[in-house]
Amino acid sequence: MNQVNCKSPRPIRTATAPARWRRIVASLTLLAQLWSSTLPAAVSWPPPQSTQDQLQRALQLTDALEQALPKPTLDMMELAFEFDFDYQTAIDFVLDQHAFVPYPGVLRGPDGALVTGSGNSWDLSLLLAALIKSIGGDAQVVGGSIAAADAERLLERVFMPLPRATDTASIEQMLSALRQSAPELAQGLEQRLKLRDDPAHGAELQRRTGELAAQIQRQLAAAGIEIGNAGEAADASGLIGQLQRDYAFLRWRSGPGQAWQDVHPAFGRLSAPEAEVQRYLADEVPTDLLHRVGLRLVIERLRADGSGRHERVAIMREFERPTANLFKNQLTLGVGPLGGNPEQDQVFAAPLLNGRSPAGAQAFSALGLTADASDAASAAGKLFATLGEGMAGMAGRLGGLGASADEAEKAMPRLTGVLLEARIIAPDGSEKIVERRLADLRERSDVPFPDAATVEVILDFDIGGNHPQALVHEQLARQRQNLEASLPLLAWARGELTLEQARQVPEFREMPESHWLEFERYANAMLPERDANRSGWRPGPMIVTRRTGFDADQQVQVLSDILHNPVTVLGRDAEGAIRVSVAGAVEQGVRETLLESALMGKSDGWSGRSPVRVIAEPGALDQHSAARNWSQQALERATQDLEQNYVLAITDDAEPHWWRIHRQSGETLGMGALGGQEMAEYIVMVISAGLSTYFFYRSVESCDKTYKDNQAMADCCIVGNLAVTYGTSALGAATGGLPTGEAGAWIANPILASVGYIMASLQFELAGNFLVEAISGEPIEAACKAIENW
The string over 45-83, giving b where at least 16 C-beta atoms fall within 10 Å of a residue's C-beta and e elsewhere, is eebbebbeebbebbeebbebbbebbeebeeebeebbeeb
pLDDT band at 619 (very low <50, low <70, confident <90, very high): very high
CB 668 within 8 Å of CB 581: no
- Specify the higher pLDDT residue, 376 or 261: 261
Report how far residue 162's alpha carbon sits from residue 116's, in angstroms, rounded to the nearest whole number.
10
Report how far residue 535's alpha carbon sits from residue 102's, in angstroms, rounded to the nearest whole number.
11
Using CB atoms within 10 A of its CB, is residue 106 exposed (0-12), middle (13-18) or buried (19+)? buried
Report how far residue 40's alpha carbon sits from residue 48's, in angstroms, rounded to the nearest whole number.
7
Using CB atoms within 10 A of its CB, is residue 480 exposed (0-12), middle (13-18) or buried (19+)? middle
pLDDT band at 3 (very low <50, low <70, confident <90, very high): very low
Sign of the alpha-carbon torsion through 457, 105, 113, 168: positive
The predicted model gives 335-340 an average pLDDT of 77
pLDDT, position 756:
58
Q: How many other β-carbons are positioned within 10 Å of the β-carbon of residue 359?
A: 9
pLDDT of 778 over the 50 cut: no
Using CB atoms within 10 A of its CB, is residue 394 exposed (0-12), middle (13-18) or buried (19+)? middle
Considering the chain, what is the average pLDDT of its residues?
A: 77
Within 13 Å, how many C-alpha atoms sit on residue 319's CB side?
26
Which residues on adjacent β-strands are paired with residue 569?
A: 536
Q: Per mean pLDDT, which range of 258-262, 457-461, 678-682, 769-773 is the poorest?
A: 769-773
Percent of the chain residues topping a pLDDT of 90 = 40
Closest CA to 29 of 193, 188, 185: 185
pLDDT, position 201:
60
pLDDT of 470 over the 50 cut: yes
Which tens digits make up the pLDDT trace of 547-557?
888 777 777 77
Residue 619 CA to its chain's centroid (Å)? 34
CB 547 within 8 Å of CB 561: yes
* Single-letter amino acid, residue 218: R
Report how far residue 47's alpha carbon sits from residue 493's, in angstroms, rounded to the nearest whole number.
14
pLDDT, position 336:
87
DSSP-based three-state secondary structure for 245? helix
Closest CA to 696 of 520, 459, 454: 454
Which residues on adjacent β-strands are paired with residue 530?
A: 535
pLDDT of 16 over the 90 cut: no
- Specify the higher pLDDT residue, 406 or 463: 463
Residue 144 CA to its chain's centroid (Å)? 36
pLDDT, position 514:
66
pLDDT band at 774 (very low <50, low <70, confident <90, very high): very low
pLDDT of 17 over the 80 cut: no
Report how far residue 147's alpha carbon sits from residue 347's, in angstroms, rounded to the nearest whole number.
64
The predicted model gives 103-118 an average pLDDT of 96
pLDDT, position 715:
60
pLDDT of 180 over the 90 cut: no
Q: How many other β-carbons are positioned within 10 Å of the β-carbon of residue 226?
A: 14
What are the φ/ψ torsions at residue 68 (nearest 5 degrees)? -75, -30
Report how far residue 445's alpha carbon sits from residue 163's, in angstroms, rounded to the nearest whole number.
55
The string over 496-515, giving b where at least 16 C-beta atoms fall within 10 Å of a residue's C-beta and e elsewhere, is bbbbeebeebebbeebebbb
Domains (range + CATH), the chain = 76-165+236-287 (3.10.620.30), 298-425+430-449 (no CATH)
Q: Per mean pLDDT, which range of 194-203, 473-482, 559-568, 713-722 is the poorest?
A: 713-722
* Residues in the chain, total: 790
Q: Per mean pLDDT, which range of 124-133, 479-488, 779-788 is the poorest?
A: 779-788
pLDDT band at 204 (very low <50, low <70, confident <90, very high): confident
Q: Per mean pLDDT, which range of 78-87, 100-109, 199-208, 711-720 is the poorest?
A: 711-720
Q: How many other β-carbons are positioned within 10 Å of the β-carbon of residue 122?
A: 30
Closest CA to 517 of 743, 261, 728, 203: 728
pLDDT, position 605:
76
Which tens digits make up the pLDDT trace of 698-717?
666 666 676 677 665 666 56
pLDDT of 172 over the 90 cut: no
Q: Using omega within 30 degrees of 0 as the cis cutoff, is the peptide bond preceding 450 cis?
A: yes
pLDDT, position 211:
95
CB 363 within 8 Å of CB 415: no
Q: Which residues, 6 or more positions from 467, have their beta carbon under 8 angstroms from its beta carbon? A: 72, 74, 115, 116, 117, 164
* Single-letter amino acid, residue 391: M
Report how far residue 690's alpha carbon sits from residue 355's, in angstroms, rounded to the nearest whole number.
5
Which tens digits make up the pLDDT trace of 228-249?
854 444 778 999 999 999 999 9
Of 43-52, 589-598, 684-693, give the range with the top mean pLDDT: 589-598
What are the φ/ψ torsions at residue 615 (nearest 5 degrees)? -120, 130
pLDDT of 13 over the 60 cut: no
Element (H, E) at 130: helix 121-135
pLDDT band at 4 (very low <50, low <70, confident <90, very high): very low
* Single-letter amino acid, residue 707: Y
pLDDT of 55 over the 80 cut: no
Element (H, E) at 65: helix 49-68
Residue 52 CA to its chain's centroid (Å)? 33
Report how far residue 55's alpha carbon sits from residue 51's, in angstroms, rounded to the nearest whole number.
6
- Specify the higher pLDDT residue, 104 or 519: 104
Which tens digits make up the pLDDT trace of 412-462?
778 999 999 999 999 999 999 999 999 999 888 888 888 889 898 999 999
Of 47-61, 460-474, 651-665, give the range with the top mean pLDDT: 651-665
Q: Using omega within 30 degrees of 0 as the cis cutoff, is the peptide bond preceding 46 cis?
A: yes
pLDDT band at 214 (very low <50, low <70, confident <90, very high): very high
DSSP-based three-state secondary structure for 527? coil
Closest CA to 419 of 177, 109, 636: 636
Record the pTM. Answer: 0.83
pLDDT of 783 over the 50 cut: no
CB 734 within 8 Å of CB 771: yes
pLDDT, position 41:
26
The predicted model gives 656-680 an average pLDDT of 83
* Single-letter amino acid, residue 347: V
The predicted model gives 677-698 an average pLDDT of 49
Report how far residue 574's alpha carbon sits from residue 519's, in angstroms, rounded to the nearest whole number.
37
pLDDT band at 42 (very low <50, low <70, confident <90, very high): very low
CA quadruple 394, 397, 402, 406: dihedral, nearest 10: -60
